[in-house]
Amino acid sequence: MKDFVLLFAIGATVGRAPALGAQTFPTDDPVLRAMWVEGMHNSQAMTLLQTLSDSIGPRLTGSPGSLAGQDWIKGVYSKWGISSRSEQFGTWMGWRRGPSQVNLIAPRLRSMEGVMLAWSPGTKGKPVEGKTVVLQDPGDSTAFAAWLPQVKGRIVLASPPEPSCRPDSSYLQWAGKAAFDDMVRERTSLRDAWPTARRSVASGLDAKALAKRLEDAGALGIITSRWTGGWGVTRVFRAQTRVVPTFELSCEDYGLVFRLTERNQGAAVRLTAEAEFLGEVPVFNVLGEVRGSEKPDEFVLLSAHFDSWDGGSGSTDNGTGTVTMLEAMRILRQAYPRPKRTILVGHWNSEENGLIGSRAYAEDHPEVVKGLQAQFNQDNGTGRIEAIDAAGLLGAVGSLAGWFSKLPTELSRDIKLEFPGAPRTGGSDNASFACYGAPGFGLDSENADYGLYTWHTRRDTYDKVIAANLRRNATLTAMLAYLASEDPVTTPRDRRVMAVDSTGKIPPWPACTKPARSWGESTR
């Protein structure tokens, strides 16, 4: 079966933001008009996001920041007269971040740009100093075993270096094609020669096992660097060590230390980190609810994950999604206080660890999965919502098209509706419902440099958010929730025939993944 794409408002100017004073409503619906005024003129979205980003900050699963943020959300809903609650779905390793610093101390002094990774051990209140050593390939187990004693008392550089930290577009512009091609060949050679995860797995050493081998051999710490390809940005994920600290270093500073080490110029580093493990602690989703007046056992679910990595402030991943749903609920409360169907909002925890919170909720609440009219999930940054597909449900095509046909043109312009689409298998929390054959729809946003600069980086901060887009996305989401709630027809669930895969076979509908309900379960 072939998909097709319908582009609303054909001929509209691409990239044009909706003007606040101009609305083109296909229907004379007073609720939609009230929602426009509330969402586009009286928006509280950026006020909410500033508190979430700056005051609360990152929301790593199991951290005190996560609990503080969830209490804040429930307080906001209480102020608006919306019922909300925390619902435990499991436990996770509690961890509290303290200050951290990484310095080059030889052959010269330099305060470097780096951060301790999540769930890293600290340095027990004292600086750790040591010379650096470059990781050797664990794929050759004999050579690796012979090399391993060299890490004792050293800090291990565990990532390949970059020949240049200048983005490709800039390098090509100022160096020319021939020099650019030479640089790309050098970069490819460095990456191909590095002890990659694939080679480590082949030798029985995944990232966790490799970290343990290095710790057991007496390494003082590990430094990594995962450059995104943009100016001054690296990915920030989690540590695999359990005894010694792991730091992520900027592309530029990592290259400096690597070159000094590789050329035997006496590189030495000082690591200082404060961190506290809190044991396995309860972890929760936050659910809000406005009960339906006519069909309370059918549900419109607004959702976004609340947890984040903690290198930055979690503003575009997924503070924007969180505030989109908060603000949409506020708009609904103001303009549509008595919905026909029950409107739920899910602020999921532990999405970054494998959609755990939403998968657990779907598993624990079959009545919501059964009665789901529509889920609208948003999770990819501060761009304008630009696409939605029918999640592989043939009959949902008509439902989505009907809802979108009633939206003001300023919101629906240039949004691509892909029919019938396919059920999401991962990536974000609509997959947790689509696997059951329920109408779990993803509200996909424009790139807005998300992948290059803010996704899982230290640059994911409040200032990166585009206010006009956040107002627009929240207003659009509120309107879709209203239209789905009012629709006299229950969204059909007849499934498409899945597209032929690369092996020439027709795959089955994706199976639902059982969530890991504890840190211990996830790390086995």
Residue 302: other Cβ atoms inside 10 A: 28
Every domain of the chain with CATH number 3.40.630.10 lies at 4-93+280-489
pLDDT at 194: 82
Q: Does domain 108-266 have CATH number 1.20.120?
A: no
Least confident stretch, 200-214, 314-328, 330-344: 200-214
Q: Is the pLDDT reported for residue 370 higher than 60?
A: yes
- H or E segment to which residue 296 belongs: strand 295-305
Q: Residues 351, 58, 157, 123: is their CA dihedral positive or negative?
A: negative
Mean pLDDT value across residues 12-37: 74
Backbone angles phi, psi at 164, to 5 degrees: -150, 140
Q: What is the distance between the alpha carbons of residues 116 and 223, in angstroms, rounded to a whole number?
A: 9
Q: Is the pLDDT reported for residue 126 higher than 60?
A: yes
Least confident stretch, 149-163, 408-422, 439-453: 408-422
CATH code reported for the domain at 4-93+280-489: 3.40.630.10
Confidence label for 202 from pLDDT (cuts 50, 70 and 90):
very low
Mean pLDDT value across residues 111-138: 95
Mean pLDDT value across residues 8-27: 57
Q: What is the distance between the alpha carbons of residues 20 and 471, in angstroms, rounded to a whole number?
A: 10
pLDDT at 143: 86
Q: Is the pLDDT reported for residue 364 higher than 70?
A: yes
pLDDT at 197: 46
pLDDT above 90 as % of the chain: 87
**Among the listed residues 186, 170, 320, 309, the one whose alpha carbon sits nearest the alpha carbon of residue 248:** 309
Q: Do residues 312 and 461 make contact, with C-beta atoms less than 8 angstroms apart?
A: yes
pLDDT at 15: 44
Strands (E), 306-384: 341-348, 372-377
Mean pLDDT value across residues 480-501: 96
Q: How far is CA 122 from CA 127, 234, 242, 357, 465, in A?
A: 10, 21, 10, 28, 32
pLDDT at 9: 44
- The structure's pTM equals 0.93
Residue 494: other Cβ atoms inside 10 A: 11
How do residues 160-183 score in pLDDT, each as one tens digit?
A: 999 999 999 999 999 999 999 999
How do residues 441-489 score in pLDDT, each as one tens digit?
A: 999 999 999 999 999 999 999 999 999 999 999 999 999 999 999 999 9
Average pLDDT value for the chain: 93
Confidence label for 195 from pLDDT (cuts 50, 70 and 90):
low
Exposed / middle / buried, residue 47 (Cβ in 10 Å: 0-12, 13-18, 19+): exposed
pLDDT at 10: 36
Cα of 315 vs its chain's centroid, Å: 10
Mean pLDDT value across residues 74-103: 98
Q: Is the pLDDT reported for residue 220 higher than 60?
A: yes
